[in-house]
Structure 1
Amino acid sequence: MADGGEDQSRVGSLASISRGASLYTIGKVISDVGEFLLHLLVSRLLGAASYGLFAYGKTLAFTALLVTNFGSDESILKHLPQYENEPRKRRFMLGLAWVTSAGGGLIVSGALFLLAPIVSNLTLSDPQFVSVLRLFAAVLFIDTLAGLLYSTFRAVQLVEYEVLTKRVLKPALRVLGVGGVIAVGGSLYGVVTAMVVASAVTFAVAVLYFLRRTEIRPTLRSPGNTRGTVREYYGYSLPLTAKEAGTVMQGRVDVLMVGFLLSSTAVGVYNVSVLVAGVLYVPLLAVNRLFPPVASRLYTERRRADLTAIYSVVTRWTLTASLLIAVVVVVFRVEILALFGSEFTAGTVVLTLFVVSQLWNCATGPSGYLLMMTDHQYVVMATEWLFGVANVVLNYVFIQAFGLVGAALASAGVLAARNVTKIAAVWYFERLHPYSSSFVKPLMAAVVAAAGALVVEATLSGVPAVAVGSVVAAGCYGIVLAVAGTEPVDREVYRLLTASPDE
């Protein structure tokens, strides 16, 4: 690392990312517990078929959410930090984001509401799915606007308010609402209605935090309202919209095609496997909370050495955290899926394939955000489209041939190939890569942790196996990492995070 002021600045940036990641991880754990309980309640009490309808409607809404704001959420992550010293331009950029998101959300959610009967006939062909899908259209519009607030909190490094609203309040309200509906014998329609209410209350609280904790106010009446500024905004956000369209084709199209080609029960089994494997994605999501604004600032200031070092460190952190989760999920895959019901254990192969692909996703770090923050958004867009089209084609062919496992083979393979391409693009355009000999330590620790978990799996079963095995795996993992020794930069970041304000 560099010496003196540069060294302190770099450690400070890493500490900022680490604080955001820590807060996000706490919130994400709470959110995932809430999501787990939500899906557990619906799957066990309403059955695999009704759960399939719920999961399919939720997937459609979530998929549409990726494109409703036309790249505005990603755009403000770049522009608000970039124009920190130009407040009028910042306010205008935020105003454009609000107008774009509101318009996009209204168009897409309105289309989903109106086309619900057609979507139902083409997919699950269940009469109650129409009303369920229309309720999810309401969730989609509310969450589109809320997403802009969450991105604003991240852009100004107030990630704690994103965590409090999106990661703590919303899942808590969902579980309480859905649990209450099911407790009184409510239907699937009542379950989704509770989700609409939870989204609306969360959005209201997020607006309150935005007004009280930030000084940026969106406006279109500003000296920053110039043709050049508008061109700059949409020149960045529209390619990201196209990129998100590609992400839709490779991200959740597998679930949609399972519903189209198989059944609602198959959707339920497949979605639970994807949900469990998604836990591995948490460490990468955590560092991505504040990596984009930090990377944008460093790139703008031409601090290339700092950017390279931070990219490497956060990638290693991500891999280190995800490896332990992967060990536990793969070793105890049957026991974990059985929690949702015996019929969900049919997804063990699907779960294993997705764990491998998500592990590779985490091993490539925030490479996609690094490309976007270094003005290579068109490369990201082309990559997402290339692999999105490949995913649609491969899913159609593989599902026909291999059923649920075929969908997992197609999507997991595409995800791995996409991330290899992004790493290669970062090297080609910026001559950066995140890897070093320090990555060997977590790999060695994972081997030892897997051995410990397998011993437990051979002697126990059910929930006790998962509980004891997780503790044993974590203990083995931590011991190996401690013996191997921590990196100097990790110690510096820890010192800075734990130092008292007076130090």
Structure 2
Amino acid sequence: MTRQLSATEAKKRQIQILYAGFSMIFLSAVAAVGGLYLFRGRFANLMSADYLYEFLVLLSPFLLVYPLSRAALATLRAQKRTFPAVMAQQIGGRGIAFIALLLFIIGGREFDGAIVYWVTGPLFAFIIALYFISKGGLSWNVFDTLPDGKTARKLWSFSWPLAIGSGIFLLLNRVDILMIGYFLPSNEVGYYRAVQPLKKIATFALGSFTFLFLPVATEYYTEGDTAGLDQIFTITTKWILLITLPPVLLFALFSGDIIQILFGDNYLPAAPVLTILSTGLLFRALSGLDGDMVKAIDRPQIELFSGALGLSSNIILNYVLIPVFEISGAAVATVVGYIVYNGTELIWIYHLTGASPFSVNIAKHLGVMSVLAVLVSRIVPSPIGLVDLICVGISLTLFQPVVLILTSSVDEADIDLVEQLETRMGRNLGIIKRIARKGL
């Protein structure tokens, strides 16, 4: 919905997209709720858990309100309205749900509170998002709007590859755990699962840029501005790297100390896994928002094809490497799977548009920062404590602007971004601009 809404400025066309999107989501959600209700007994028997018979009914409204809330937030995303989106999802939806949970806990009804939390969060996010949509000049009445078959077919043809691709991506995130459990003892699964959430450090910055990237990139593509599309792809990748690089280098070079601080000596066998995942998944950050790019250029099938290749390579390498290298082999297989997945998307994007997330300035900055981080890891005595680790992380962060200037890795687009911040904040950032221009 975000992509299709961003590709047109005609209000009637946007209303048709809203109608088609919400209608398909509502009908599929109702079918999911009905199926869960009818087959709840079989699910309970399959999982050998009789309590699921009741719990699935209580949680089933989530299957209805959650996708509707995501559709409403997708509409705000297409309108580039970050504040209403945060108000709807984080402050309104989750805030109200959290307050309700606390009240139920205080009343001694923790289980009921958990059910209310999961259902009311997306429900209030949906209601608040609809309010902002209507106030933004894109209100419509479903009773006055006739369905447009052409719009629905286009939305469906764009969405189904992404739906399957999302399922493949979910497997790509989980297949390593499944195969470790098949080949190795349960304690190895425990080591791997302990550090697996920490690999998100390599990709956490992607979410900060993805909200606005897709609608903006879609506009560039529909206007035929390939130069602008290339520039926004490269500059967002650069800023994602600037945010991601210090913690990734810290996790990769001080993995043993981090494991020791967070989990204790017993989990030290997982340190090589953290190093491999942190370093290897840096390619995810370097790939930029390639997933949003394939949506922006109206090629969702690329997501499906790339995901299938990445998952296949991951499974094959897990099968080959885990018996030999144990959990480190699973980490390598995961990294290679992501490289195949993202690399395939990048090749297609470049072939179709000439856009690339890479640049000489990104390469210079990455190379110098990596060398500096290695030198710091050699100088700092090991093991180090939490305070020293935080100091090293702050030092690596402070190195970045210095390295950008000394290696002349600043772009004109970086200056433009500072000027936009200057306008929004209403403050004079002339000093920062003068310093940054020295690195052009």
Structure 2 SS opposite 1:214:
helix
**Aligned residue number for residue 13 of structure 1:** none
- Structure 1 contact 91–218 (Cα < 8 Å) conserved: yes
Report whether the alignment pairs 1:161 with 2:80.
no
Which segments of 5 or more consecutive residues in structure 1 lack a partner in the other structure? Answer: 1-75, 122-126
The alpha-carbon deviation at position 360 of structure 1 amounts to: 0.2
**Aligned residue number for residue 55 of structure 1:** none
The 5-angstrom pairing of residues 371-450 of structure 1 reads: 371-396=294-319, 398-399=321-322, 402-443=325-366, 444-450=368-374
The alpha-carbon deviation at position 464 of structure 1 amounts to: 1.8
Structure 2 SS opposite 1:375:
coil
Report whether the alignment pairs 1:243 with 2:165.
yes
The 5-angstrom pairing of residues 349-364 of structure 1 reads: 349-364=272-287
**Aligned residue number for residue 416 of structure 2:** 492
- Structure 2 contact 85–129 (Cα < 8 Å) conserved: no
The alpha-carbon deviation at position 145 of structure 1 amounts to: 3.3
**Aligned residue number for residue 211 of structure 1:** 130
Distance 1:408 1:324 in 2: 21
Pairwise CA RMSD: 3.8
Counterpart residue type for residue 239 of structure 2:
W
The alpha-carbon deviation at position 180 of structure 1 amounts to: 10
The alpha-carbon deviation at position 502 of structure 1 amounts to: 8.0
**Aligned residue number for residue 323 of structure 1:** 245
The alpha-carbon deviation at position 262 of structure 1 amounts to: 6.0
Structure 1 SS opposite 2:356:
coil
Structure 2 SS opposite 1:334:
helix
The 5-angstrom pairing of residues 112-123 of structure 1 reads: 116-117=43-44, 120=47
Distance 1:350 1:194 in 2: 38
The alpha-carbon deviation at position 161 of structure 1 amounts to: 3.4
2:201 corresponds to which of 270, 274, 279: 279
The 5-angstrom pairing of residues 4-403 of structure 1 reads: 76-85=1-10, 87-105=11-29, 111=36, 116-117=43-44, 120=47, 142-167=65-90, 196-215=115-134, 216-217=138-139, 225-258=147-180, 267-342=189-264, 343-396=266-319, 398-399=321-322, 402-403=325-326
Report whether the alignment pairs 1:463 with 2:424.
no
The alpha-carbon deviation at position 157 of structure 1 amounts to: 0.9
Query: In the comparison of the two structures, how many residue pairs are matched?
Result: 417
Normalised by the size of structure 1, how large is the TM-score?
A: 0.71
The alpha-carbon deviation at position 259 of structure 1 amounts to: 5.5
- Structure 1 contact 92–222 (Cα < 8 Å) conserved: no
- Structure 1 contact 334–348 (Cα < 8 Å) conserved: yes
The alpha-carbon deviation at position 91 of structure 1 amounts to: 2.3
Sort the Cα spacing of 1:138 and 1:493 in 2 relative to 1 into closer, same or farther, 3 A.
same
- Structure 1 contact 95–220 (Cα < 8 Å) conserved: yes
Distance 2:99 2:356 in 1: 45
Which is further off, 446-455 or 243-252? 446-455
- Structure 1 contact 296–374 (Cα < 8 Å) conserved: yes
The sequence identity of aligned pairs, in percent, is 20
- Structure 2 contact 94–121 (Cα < 8 Å) conserved: no
Structure possessing the higher radius of gyration over alpha carbons: 2
Structure 2 SS opposite 1:289:
helix
Normalised by the size of structure 2, how large is the TM-score?
A: 0.80
Distance 2:379 2:64 in 1: 49
Sort the Cα spacing of 1:205 and 1:141 in 2 relative to 1 into closer, same or farther, 3 A.
closer
The alpha-carbon deviation at position 353 of structure 1 amounts to: 2.1
Task: Pick 1 or 2: higher relative contact order, CA cutoff 8 A, min separation 6.
Answer: 1
The alpha-carbon deviation at position 118 of structure 1 amounts to: 6.4
